[in-house]
Amino acid sequence: MKWKLLLLAACCVLDGQARKAKSLLSERVGVCTSLSNAPAVKAAGGHHVEQGVAAFMIPEQDEEAFLARLREASSCCLPIISCNGFFPGDLRLTGPDADYERAVRYTEVAMQRCAMTGVVTVVLGSAGARSIPDGFPREEAEAQFIALLKRLGPIARKYGVTIVIEPLRRQECNFINTVEEGCEIARRVKHPNVRVLADLYHMTQEGEGPQSILKAGRKYLRHVHVAENARRTPPGVDGDDFTPYFRALKEIGYRGNISIECGWNDFRKQVGPAIQELQRQLKAVGM
């Protein structure tokens, strides 16, 4: 009973934090990083920190273990409103070893814990889980993935969470490499809580331009990740210009958040300039 009361109290606090709406995207810039780095993100003008479902929500561990994580989140100076790292690599989503029942059980717990923590968006990248095994028919893998998402969508909706499919560059995954492909999967799933993420790093790696954002539109695009193209560095290191993509986001009336997901040489020194550069480019296009 005690843990349930603690969860409820934390949920109320976190829910209030997460739902403070910011009108401009430049005010909704967050970072994929640990909670220990949240003070540095906040000091730099960041809006949120993005965690991992498997690592932070620990869906296959017991409630007492998760309660410790929830206490950490409730005392964090920034909200956790999005999570990546959905499925562990050993939980297969495609191929002959696909385990739907484990995936459904895992998602039920994960979505419940995300809701308790204030998370409203969960990123489904999970390259190891979703990659198509060698020799397995692509059409069958697509059918598997769509059938699974049709089961996961209602679970996400029950907890007020949206699952966003993350297209990944070919070097990391052989299935769903572009925003256009992600949108086609979401259209076939036909559930309002299954949508798409645009990761500008993966888009530029695949040679995918802003037109894909325009095609996706506000209906399907619900979250954005960003890093520079050549070395997956923070904004401002190599001087990448993201404004063509930001103009496309503005044109579709994008209302989601944006998270920096990159490699860091020195987080404390780099996070401030990275957030400021991203905000500068967003403000340059009126976002």
**What one-letter code names the amino acid at 275?**
I
Residue 163 CA from chain centroid, whole number: 8
CATH of domain 2-284: 3.20.20.150
Q: How many CB atoms lie within 10 A of CB 277?
A: 19
**Nearest 5°: phi and psi at 177?**
-105, -10
What confidence score (pLDDT) does residue 8 get? Answer: 52
pTM of this structure: 0.94
Tokens of 27: 């005010």
SS3 state of residue 44: coil
What confidence score (pLDDT) does residue 9 get? Answer: 45
Q: What is the pLDDT of residues 142-193, one digit of tens each?
A: 999 999 999 999 999 999 999 999 999 999 999 999 999 999 999 999 999 9
DSSP class of residue 87?
Answer: S
Taking 80 as the threshold, does the pLDDT of residue 12 lie above it? no
Window from 1-15, 81-95, 125-139 with minimum mean pLDDT: 1-15
Q: What is the pLDDT of residues 211-250, one digit of tens each?
A: 999 999 999 999 999 999 999 999 999 999 999 999 999 9
Do residues 78 and 47 touch, judged by C-beta distance below 8 A?
A: yes
**Residue 163: beta bridge partners?**
122, 194
Sign of the alpha-carbon torsion through 184, 185, 191, 193? negative
**Residue 84: beta bridge partners?**
52
Q: What is the pLDDT of residues 72-107, one digit of tens each?
A: 999 999 999 999 999 999 999 999 999 999 999 999
Tokens of 75: 């005392």
**What one-letter code names the amino acid at 13?**
V
Mean pLDDT, rounded, for 253-269: 98
CA distance 285 to 227: 18
